[in-house]
Structure 1
C-alpha cells in the first residue's frame, strides 16, 4: 500500500510539471490522508529530492537526487508496462542474477532491476562487465512474451535500437550498433546487452535483458586495459547525462518497439537496426566457437541472423560470434 501511494504521488508530480499541488488535492487524488502525503513528501526529501513548499499553493519538485532511485525513475515515466515495477538496490553481484530470481517468483512483465554498482557484472560468454558506482546504468528488464524460443535473439537487436534512440534523444553523439549486442561511439564500446532465457523446449517462461551503459565515467574511471576500447557518454558528449532520464527514455523507446514487434513481427525492427548498424558493407571477422570467417557484412536476415559474404561469394549465416571490424 505504501509503495502504491508513492507511485501515485510521483505520477501526480509528473503530470503537474512545474505546477504546485496542494496537500489536500494530492490526498484526494491518491485516496489517503494529508498526513500520509506529508510523510511521503518527507521520505522523498530524505532520498535527495528538493521540493518547494509554499503556503496556500502546495508542493512541487525542484530537483531530483544525483543517485538513481526507483522514485526518481518513476518521476516522469510515461510507459504503461516497462518500469512500472522497479527493484532497486545500491550494490549487487549482478542485476541479471536478481532478475532470474524475481522471474521465478512470478514478478510481472516489465519489471526492471536497477543497481548503482555491480560487483560481478557479466557480458556475453561470461566476460566481466566493469560496473563502477554512480557512473553508469546497470539494468535488467524482465519480459514474458508469447513467442517461439528461436525468436528470443531478436529482442537483443530490438533493445539495441531502443538504446541507440534513447542515446540520440539525450546527447549529440552518433552511436552505431555492432552485431549482435554492442553499441559503439567512435569505434569504442559504450553499451553491452545480454539476453538470457528461462524456458523449456517449447515454451518461454521469461526473457531477461541486461543493459550496461557507460554514462558519466571519465577516462581514468576505466581500468587501463579498457581505456582504449571503452568510452562513456560523458567522454564523447563532454557533458554529464541524467541517468534516470536516460533510463526513462530507454524504457519509452523499448516499449514502443516491443509493441510494434509483438503486433507486426521483426521486419520493422530489422529495418531500424540496419539503419544504425556500423558494419554493413564493411569487411569483418566473425569468430565463432569453431572457426573464423572473414568477409563483407551484408546485413541481417528477417530472423536477425548476420549475413556475411566471403571472398568466394558464398554467404554465411552467422548465429553467434564475436565480430571484429
Structure 2
C-alpha cells in the first residue's frame, strides 16, 4: 500500500480513536511532515479527519466516498470493478470517460465512478442532475459476444439490477418505465444511459451509465424536470450509505449480465415484466418514425416493447420516449 493508503487504513482501524502522528511516522518510516501531508490529501479527498497537536489524528465519521479504498473492500463481484476501478471527485460524465477507456482497450468490467458530474447525460442529450456526494454516478464497460439485435437486453437487465437493489436491499417499491427509467411513486429515482459502439455486424463495446439519486433533498432538484424526482433518502426518510448501495448494485448488475451471457435472460425478462409500469397501460411513444399510441401489451425476448394500436396491430418498439396515458389495467 502507498503511504496515503496506509495512513487511511490506520485511521479506519482505530475506529474513531486518536492515532498519534509520531506513531504513524515510526511505523511507516517517514517524517511526521510526510504523515501530515498525506492527512491533508485525505481531507481534500473528502475524508473528515480531526487533528490535534497533542493527540494526533482521528477519522470523525465513516467515509461515504465512492473511492476504491471504500468500495473495493466489500465488493463481492467476480469481475465488475475488481481489476479496473477509476474514481474521480469530479468528471464531466462517467460515460464519456468510460468510452475513452473502452476505446483504449480497457476490458469488460471496468468501472468509472465520480462524486459529481458537471455534464452528466441522460437519454436524448438531456442533463442528469449530479450534485457532489449525493448520488451514485457510475459507468461500466461491457464487451458481450452478442448479436446486435440483443443490445436492448442490456439496458433492460440494467434496469432490473437497479430496481432489484432498491427493492431487496432498501425495501423500496420501484417500477421500471420502459426502456430505462426507474420510478418510485411516479417520481424518477434513477436513469440509465447505454451507449454502443459496433464494428460491422458485431458489438465492440457497450458503456452502461447509471445515475441513482441517493441522499438528495427533493427541494434541491431543478424544477424543469420532465418527470418529478425523488431519492433514496426522501423515500426512506433518512440518509443511506452510498458505498454499500453501489457494491450491491454492481453485484446485481454482474449477476444479471452473466445470466444473459449464459442464455438465461428469461429469468431477468420475467422480473422486468413484473416490475414494468407500462405493460397494460395506454401509452404514447415518440419513436424515430413518429408518434405511436396504443396499449403496451408485453416486452419481447429482445427487450422490445410490444404496443397494440386501435386497429389491433401489434407494433414492436425498439426505443422511444414514452408517455403514460392511463392507469394500469386490472
Query: TM-score per shorter chain, which class?
Result: 0.7 to 0.9
Partner of 1:212: 211
Partner of 1:224: 223
Aligned-pair CA distance for 1:49: 8.1
Partner of 2:69: 71
How far apart, CA to CA, are the structure 1 residues paired with 2:307 and 2:146? 27
Partner of 2:166: 167
Partner of 1:185: 184
Calculate the TM-score normalised by the size of structure 1.
Answer: 0.81
Partner of 1:275: 274
Segments of 5+ residues of structure 1 without an aligned counterpart are: 11-15, 19-33, 51-60
Q: Contact between 1:261 and 1:268, CA under 8 Å: does it hold in 2?
A: no
> What are the Cα deviations for residues 206-236 of structure 1, in whole angstroms up to 9, with x where unaligned?
1100001111111221112239611111112
Segments of 5+ residues of structure 2 without an aligned counterpart are: 16-26, 50-58, 325-330
Q: Secondary structure at the match of 2:271?
A: helix
Pairing of 1:228-307 with structure 2 (within 5 A)? 229-307=228-306
Calculate the TM-score normalised by the size of structure 2.
Answer: 0.80
Partner of 1:23: none
How many residues are matched?
A: 297
How far apart, CA to CA, are the structure 2 residues paired with 1:73 and 1:159? 20
Q: Contact between 2:117 and 2:130, CA under 8 Å: does it hold in 1?
A: yes
How far apart, CA to CA, are the structure 2 residues paired with 1:206 and 1:309? 33
Pairing of 1:83-232 with structure 2 (within 5 A)? 83-84=81-82, 85-226=84-225, 229-232=228-231
Pick which of 225-234 and 92-101 moved more: 225-234
Q: Contact between 1:64 and 1:72, CA under 8 Å: does it hold in 2?
A: no
Moved over 4 A (4+): 42-47
> What are the Cα deviations for residues 78-134 of structure 1, in whole angstroms up to 9, with x where unaligned?
111011121011111111110011111221211110111111111111111111111
How far apart, CA to CA, are the structure 2 residues paired with 1:267 and 1:62? 47
Q: Contact between 1:166 and 1:249, CA under 8 Å: does it hold in 2?
A: yes
Pick which of 145-154 and 110-119 moved more: 145-154
Residues 93 and 291 of structure 1, relative CA distance in 2, 3 Å threshold: same
Aligned-pair CA distance for 1:45: 6.9
Q: Contact between 1:218 and 1:232, CA under 8 Å: does it hold in 2?
A: yes
How far apart, CA to CA, are the structure 1 residues paired with 2:198 and 2:261? 19
Partner of 2:22: none
